[in-house]
Amino acid sequence: MSTDRMTPTSTFSNDTYWEHSHPRRGFFTDTSICIGCKACEVACKEWNRNPADSDYEILGSSYDNTGGLGADTWRHVAFIEQSQERIEQARESGRALVNLGMPRVGPPPSATLAAASPSGGGCACGSAAPAGPAGGDCACGAAEPADDAAGLGCACSAPFGAAPSQAAPAGGCGSSGGCGCSSGPAPADATGATDGSPVLDTPDFRWLMSSDVCKHCTHAGCLDVCPTGALFRTEFGTVVVQEDICNGCGTCVAGCPFGVIERRNDGLVEPKTQRGAPPMPDTVKVPQDGIAQKCTLCYDRMKNDQTPACAQACPTTSIKYGERETMLESAQQRVAQLHEQGRTEARLYGANPKDGVGGTGSIFLLLDEPEVYGLPPDPRVPTADLPRMYKRAGVAVLGMLALGVAAFTAGDRA
């Protein structure tokens, strides 16, 4: 899949004044294979010597003890339990993102769809295909080529009753009718097994695990609003806080649309130069109270051509690290693979260079809406509105001056 339209290479350099020859680096976090082991979270804390920010008590809302990203937690693993009903809703919303349809002339084909038989084929949007020589196009406007692995009239490759690599009968998507991605899992027996189809989730619920991190945005709000220049963009395109320059004003906290950066307020930590040494006395520890902190994407390791600690510690390769363009291509291929398996809920987050932050350096594969993971659905850097605000302020000032001049002129005439 081509990434020409999705990779903001030249735009990133022009908009951010990034003049380095190094390729932009970033993460691809595949939540579909995350097991919630928290190895990334622990590795991040150990390498960066971040203090504990909890008493290790499991929260009442989740199997989690940290709750979210902050000054002391630069990687956070979220646990989200979903019912079968919510899983179906997630897949429906995923189909809506993929199958936008084509413009049609005439009334909507709702009556035709209601009368259609499920055994006549299916579509990725869950509707039956109209009758025709080869099954016809999907009623949602997404026609399928004749060599689809799942058979004619089906926009997925996972028919009920057949493996994805098997061809379905020419009349539809399988002997039981309908696509494997159009109406959810096939009816299960008492053991939860389906008719030869792999069971992707438990019959009743599933866990969504997601390892969240700083997004290292193309248009970084924290970087834009910092009054001291404590935040800077590295040669790898990431955003890092310089602790010796930060004055703890907290302006960057309000400038981040993701709520990632925070000020540390829990005292002192040991510098990373003392790794492996005995604990240092308080008199020689480095003060960091009140200083803004967030993920650096292990900038010290990157300079030595090392993988960030969280990605290196991940046992399932859920966290991948490399050049941002390569990560984006891998993410797009992974989404296509999951869609072929009938998991239409898979979608990318942070891959669109036209969103409110110009795309992010950390790309995520999600299995539900961003809000489910605590992510804003349409993030927007606050400084994007500055030109319009200045323009309106200028118009208001000119208007007030004009009114003042008119008032003085009218007074002189009186």
Q: 413: left (phi > 0), else alpha (psi -120 to 50), else beta? A: alpha
Same domain, 262 and 361: yes
Q: Which long-range contacts (CB under 8 A, 24 or more apart) does 299-304 make?
A: 299/234, 299/236, 299/238, 299/240, 300/272, 301/47, 302/25, 302/234, 302/236, 302/238
CATH code of the domain containing 21? 3.30.70.20
Same domain, 234 and 323: yes
Residue 266, in any domain of the structure: yes
Residue 47, in any domain of the structure: yes
- Per residue of the chain (414 residues), what is the pLDDT tens digit? 333 334 344 555 555 555 666 789 999 999 999 999 999 999 999 999 888 777 777 777 777 878 889 888 999 998 988 888 888 888 888 888 766 555 666 666 554 444 444 433 334 444 444 444 444 444 444 444 434 333 333 334 333 333 333 333 343 443 333 343 434 444 444 344 444 545 455 567 788 999 999 999 999 999 999 999 999 999 999 999 998 899 888 899 989 999 999 888 755 555 555 555 565 556 555 566 788 999 999 999 999 999 999 999 999 999 999 999 999 999 999 999 999 998 999 999 999 888 889 899 999 999 999 999 999 998 888 887 777 877 888 889 889 998 888 888 887 665
Residue 90, in any domain of the structure: no
Same domain, 397 and 309: no
Same domain, 218 and 266: yes
Residue 14, in any domain of the structure: yes
Domains contained in the chain, number: 2
Q: Does residue 66 contact residue 41 with C-beta atoms inside 8 Å?
A: yes
Same domain, 346 and 403: no
Residue 150, in any domain of the structure: no
Same domain, 279 and 257: yes
Same domain, 405 and 298: no
Same domain, 403 and 272: no
Q: Please name the helix (run of DSSP H) or strand (run of DSSP E) that holds residue 406, with its range, or none.
A: helix 386-413
Residue 108, in any domain of the structure: no
Structural domain boundaries, residue 366: 9-84+208-380
Closest CA to 311 of 81, 53, 74, 54: 74
Same domain, 344 and 406: no
Same domain, 402 and 264: no
DSSP classification of residue 300:
H
Distance between CA 199 and CA 193 in Å, rounded?
Answer: 7
The pairing of beta strand 262-263 with beta strand 319-323: unpaired
Residue 273, in any domain of the structure: yes
Same domain, 55 and 78: yes
Residue 196, in any domain of the structure: no
Same domain, 398 and 254: no
